[in-house]
């Protein structure tokens, strides 16, 4: 995580510079790697649910920044937190 301080990047969207968004992308990678190790019988059960939930965090953060009002932004932040 320290490399975030060193690397200066240009961002296309405001949510890309949020630490929580950066961390959520790392969490997605971790979840995918962990769920690869799950048994085949969990492929469409727990594996699928964990993967969709992890993607939901980043997706809701991204969608929330495009909200027209603070209420919209808060709604998507809450959805992201819930995921």
What would the pLDDT profile of 32-80 be if each residue is shown by its tens digit?
Answer: 999 999 998 888 899 999 999 999 988 888 887 776 788 877 777 777 7
The CATH class for the domain spanning 14-82 reads mainly alpha
Within 8 A by CB and 6+ apart from 24, the residues are: 54, 57, 58, 61, 80
Tokens describing residue 22: 């950066």
Q: What is the pLDDT of residue 7?
A: 52
Q: What is the pLDDT of residue 1?
A: 47
What is the DSSP code string of 32-83?
HHHHTTS-GGGTTTHHHHHHHHHHHHHHHHHHHHT-SSHHHHHHHHHHHHH-
Domain ranges in the chain are 14-82
Has residue 28 got a pLDDT over 90? yes
Q: Hey, how many other C-beta atoms are within 10 angstroms of the C-beta on 41?
A: 9
Q: What is the pLDDT of residue 49?
A: 93
């Amino acid at each position: 995580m320290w490399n975030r301080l060193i690397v200066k990047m240009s961002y296309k969207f405001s949510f890309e510079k949020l630490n929580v968004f950066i961390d959520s992308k790392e969490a997605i990678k971790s979840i995918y790697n962990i769920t690869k190790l799950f048994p085949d019988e969990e492929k469409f059960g727990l594996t699928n649910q964990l993967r969709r939930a992890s993607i939901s965090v980043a997706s809701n953060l991204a969608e929330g920044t495009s909200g027209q009002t603070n209420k919209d932004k808060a709604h998507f932040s809450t959805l992201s937190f819930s995921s």
